[in-house]
Structure 1
């Protein structure tokens, strides 16, 4: 059996996604992470009504994992006040998502989606500003390092 059959035809897609992620800017990657978190919480909220709590739990945990990655990527030395503010927001989000998961509370999830949407919008604005500036000029630090 060929490798393409074993992977179910997704190997080309996975390769494409991996290439896309490795070639985007740090700011675009952060926006993509927010998109994923918002999408996962949407799935969690949709599955509360039919009471599919296993799906709700899995998608809240996926969102928590994304927020953990964002939290770990903060550069506290370079980011200073902005990084400290983001740290506080991310910790708050993790706490609220834990509560939402334990209580299966749609209102808490909606609150987290609102915060994530506002953060995403801010990062998109930063991306637009960076896009209009000269890409070859030395850029200012965002206070976040995605390079592991």
Structure 2
């Protein structure tokens, strides 16, 4: 129980001290986790848990959609992909289709990997700017 409480405190601190970029990365990772769990639930005919995990993944995609900066051109390109992912998650849930979960998982993984590279490049830039001062 104490270890579980300590882990919860650590998780809360991680979220509270994360940059916006790190929070986005956490969202992608969470979405991937829920899609993978939904697939396992689907394969085990545990439809109530499958539904819950797909809804969690959908909520994360919705949050990512809401936080897009409409002023950025890239947002206009990303939004339709997020909408498509939402649709595929809904279809996977209705039809118990693991191939649709796999498709969305592929998109989320690509977004996460790209986002991770952006964070790394930004950190390198900040470090280089700090070193030259």
TM-score in terms of structure 1 length? 0.80
Alignment match, 2:22 = 28
Q: Secondary structure at the match of 2:43?
A: coil
For 1:43, the equivalent position in structure 2 comes to 37
Return the alpha-carbon distance in structure 1 between the equivalents of residues 38 and 29 of structure 2. Answer: 14
**Whose relative contact order is higher, 1 or 2, with alpha carbons under 8 Å and at least 6 apart?**
1
**Is structure 2 residue 77 aligned with structure 1 residue 85?**
yes
Which 4+ residue blocks in structure 1 deviate beyond 2 angstroms?
Answer: 8-15
SS in structure 1 of the partner of residue 42 of structure 2 = coil
Alignment partner, residue 128 of structure 1: 120
Report deviation, 1:48: 1.6
1:1-148 alignment, distance < 5 Å: 8-9=1-2, 10-77=4-71, 79=72, 81-134=73-126
Per mean C-alpha deviation after superposition, the further-off stretch among 13-22 and 50-59 is 13-22
**Can you give the 5+ residue segments of structure 1 that lack an aligned partner in the other structure?**
1-7, 138-148
TM-score by length of 2: 0.89
**Shift of the alpha carbon at 1:136?**
9.9
User: How far apart are residue 53 of structure 1 and its match?
Assistant: 0.7
Q: Give 1:15 shift.
A: 2.3
Query: How much has 1:111 moved relative to structure 2?
Result: 0.2
User: Tell me, which stretches of 5 or more residues in structure 2 are unaligned?
Assistant: none
